[in-house]
Chain A
Amino acid sequence: MATILVVDDKPSNRSVLTTLLGYRGHRLVEASNGLEALDRVRTEHPDLVITDILMPGGDGYQLARKLREEANNVPVIFYSAVYLEAEARSLALACGVRQVISKPAEPEDILTIVDAALAPGYANSSPLASDELSGLIGNLNARLYSKVQEYEELNNRLEDLVAERTQELETTLRKLEHETEERRRADETTVRVRDEQLKMKGEFLSHVSHELRSPLAVVYQFTTILLDGLAGTINKSQREYLEIMLRNADQLKHMIGDLLEASRADIRKLAVRKSSISISQTIDQAMASLRVIATTKQISLQADISDHLPLVYADPDRVSQVLTNLLDNAIKFSQPNASVIVRARIFERDPKFVLISVADCGCGIEQDSHERVFDRLYQVKTAFQGSRRGLGLGLYICKELIALHGGRIWVDSHPGKGSTFFFTLPIFGLRDIISPIMKEGCRLPSSVALITIELQAAKASFTEQERHRKSHTICQLLEHCMLPDLDVLLPPQNRAGRDRFWIAARADEHGAGVLAARIRGQLSHCEDLKINDIRYSVTTEIVNPEPQGNSLPWEKHVDSIVSRLEKMLQTDAG
Chain B
Amino acid sequence: VVSVAEKKILIIEDDKDALYAMGIRLKAHGYTVAVAMDAISAIGMANKEKPDLILLDLGLPGGDGYLVMQRVRRNYPSLLMVPIIVVSARDPVANERRALQAGAHTFLQKPVENADLLAAIENALSKSAVHEK
Chain A residues engaging chain B, CB cutoff 8 angstroms: 206, 209-211, 213-218, 220-222, 224-225, 228, 230-231, 249, 253, 260, 264, 271, 459-460, 463, 465-466, 469, 531-533
A147 to chain B, nearest CB (A): 89
Determine the residue in chain B with the shortest Cβ distance to A252: B111
Chain B 1-40 residues near chain A, CB threshold 8 A = 15, 17-18, 21-22, 24-25, 28
* Complex: A315 Cα to B127 Cα, angstroms: 29
The answer to whether A217 and B111 have CB atoms under 8 Å apart is yes
The answer to whether B111 and A271 have CB atoms under 8 Å apart is no
10 tightest A-B CB contacts, nearest first? A221-B21, A213-B89, A217-B111, A217-B110, A220-B111, A218-B17, A210-B89, A230-B28, A214-B89, A213-B110
8 more contacts with CB within 8 A, not counting A231-B24, A463-B119, are A210-B90, A214-B15, A215-B17, A217-B18, A224-B114, A230-B24, A459-B130, A463-B120
The answer to whether A218 and B21 have CB atoms under 8 Å apart is yes
The answer to whether A230 and B25 have CB atoms under 8 Å apart is yes
Given known A-B contacts A260-B91, A531-B131, A213 and B25 have beta carbons under 8 A apart: no
* Complex: A469 Cα to B110 Cα, angstroms: 19
Residues of chain A within 8 A of B25, CB atoms compared: 221, 224-225, 230
Residues of chain A within 8 A of B70, CB atoms compared: none
Determine the residue in chain B with the shortest Cβ distance to A249: B111
Per a CB cutoff under 8 Å, which of B21, B106, B114 touches A465?
B106
* Complex: A41 Cα to B91 Cα, angstroms: 105
Residues of chain A within 8 A of B112, CB atoms compared: 217
Give the dominant DSSP class at B's interface: helix
Chain B 79-105 residues near chain A, CB threshold 8 A = 89-91, 93, 100
* Complex: A466 Cα to B106 Cα, angstroms: 8
The answer to whether A253 and B120 have CB atoms under 8 Å apart is no
Residues of chain B within 8 A of A214, CB atoms compared: 15, 18, 89, 110
* Complex: A140 Cα to B55 Cα, angstroms: 116
The answer to whether A222 and B93 have CB atoms under 8 Å apart is no
Residues of chain A within 8 A of B28, CB atoms compared: 225, 228, 230
* Complex: A230 Cα to B90 Cα, angstroms: 28
* Complex: A531 Cα to B133 Cα, angstroms: 12
* Complex: A215 Cα to B18 Cα, angstroms: 8
B16 to chain A, nearest CB (A): 10
B41 close to chain A: CB less than 8 A: no
Determine the residue in chain A with the shortest Cβ distance to B108: A465
* Complex: A531 Cα to B21 Cα, angstroms: 33
* Complex: A231 Cα to B100 Cα, angstroms: 35
B102-129 vs A: 1/0 string, CB under 8 Å? 0000100111101000011001001100
Per a CB cutoff under 8 Å, which of B18, B22, B106, B130 touches A460?
B130
User: Can you identify 9 A-B contacts, CB atoms within 8 angstroms?
Assistant: A206-B91, A213-B89, A216-B111, A218-B21, A221-B25, A222-B21, A231-B24, A271-B93, A466-B106
* Complex: A228 Cα to B28 Cα, angstroms: 10
* Complex: A222 Cα to B93 Cα, angstroms: 27
